[in-house]
Amino acid sequence: MDYHDPSTGTARVRTAVLLAAGLGSRLAPFTNAVPKCMVPVTGVPILGRLVRCLDRLGFERLVVVMGYKSDVIRDYLGETFGGISIDYVVSPVFETTNNIYSLWLARDLIDEAFLLVESDLVFDDELLEPLLVPDRIAVSRQLPWMSGTTVTLDDAGIVNAFYPAPPGVYGQHCTDNDHFMAVNICSLSHETWVEIRKRLDQHVTEGQTGDFYEVVFAEMTADGSMTAEAVIFPTERWYEIDSVADLHAAELVFPQGPNPREVLDVRGRTDGAQR
């Protein structure tokens, strides 16, 4: 099967890495029994929406970095999901580290181009299509509910700077009109990933495990070793779910409930859904 983009000749991404180690404490009580990615949005767990999307787009492999209640994720996905094989890595220190450490934990499992995605996002499936080409990053115009890393773009739509938010300080970020919000989905070429791994090793060795991985992206963009083309996500077609208020808002953005044949519970599949 031809996995190359016909317009560019570039190999299309067929591996994804999901970072899902966090406690999700701001989503309590929904996360008292399950990790954040297993919280349902209009009846479907966030993780269920994501893996179905990846399967429809032809992904073949998913690496999941887990921590809090990792057994729930493993029970739900199993070893395969549709046409996707699943690999797992568990963070032993998920309570005291941030996503830079989670990404570092995946370093020995990935030696190819891949899609990097956070576990608290819901979005329309077709938005991922442009990200099947490596070295692209999803960004969005800012709305009041958004928080996190921002980026600026040059005239060609290339990210020319990352501005990571301070770890643990929610809602503090640059709101200037020329700043876009990073959606926490990006595709990375093998060449870019090789350099990222070196930087991750350095940060972790130096004990900087409480940072966001975007600090590495910021360094590499500044010195010219990372070039990422922006893919604009319309503000009304995605949502990041960090809190109970976010969950309720996301259900207004994505009001469509599950297909009766695809109803999922938080411990696995029911009602005829096929693995």
Question: Tens of pLDDT along 41-51?
Answer: 999 999 999 99
Residue 8 falls inside a structural domain: no
Average pLDDT over residues 60-71: 97
Average pLDDT, rounded, for the chain: 89
Residue 177 falls inside a structural domain: yes
Greatest Cα pair distance, the chain, in angstroms, is 52
Res. 198: pLDDT tops 70: yes
Alpha-helical runs (H) found in 57-120: 70-77, 99-105
Res. 270: pLDDT tops 50: no
Q: What would the pLDDT profile of 203-227 be if each residue is shown by its tens digit? A: 999 999 999 999 999 999 999 999 9
d(CA 126, CA 136): 15
Closest alpha carbon to 116 in 65, 174, 165: 65
Residue 50 falls inside a structural domain: yes
Q: What is the pLDDT of residue 147?
A: 85
Residue 244 falls inside a structural domain: yes
Say what the pTM is.
Answer: 0.89
Q: Name the pLDDT band for 36 (thresholds 50, 70, 90).
A: very high
Closest alpha carbon to 162 in 195, 193, 145, 186: 186
CATH of the domain at 223: 3.90.550.10
Res. 233: pLDDT tops 80: yes
Q: Name the pLDDT band for 160 (thresholds 50, 70, 90).
A: very high
Residue 79 falls inside a structural domain: yes
Residue 80 falls inside a structural domain: yes
Q: What is the pLDDT of residue 138?
A: 98
Residue 4 falls inside a structural domain: no
Residue 32 falls inside a structural domain: yes
Domain that holds residue 130: 15-254
Res. 16: pLDDT tops 50: yes
Tally of domains in the chain: 1
Average pLDDT over residues 55-77: 97
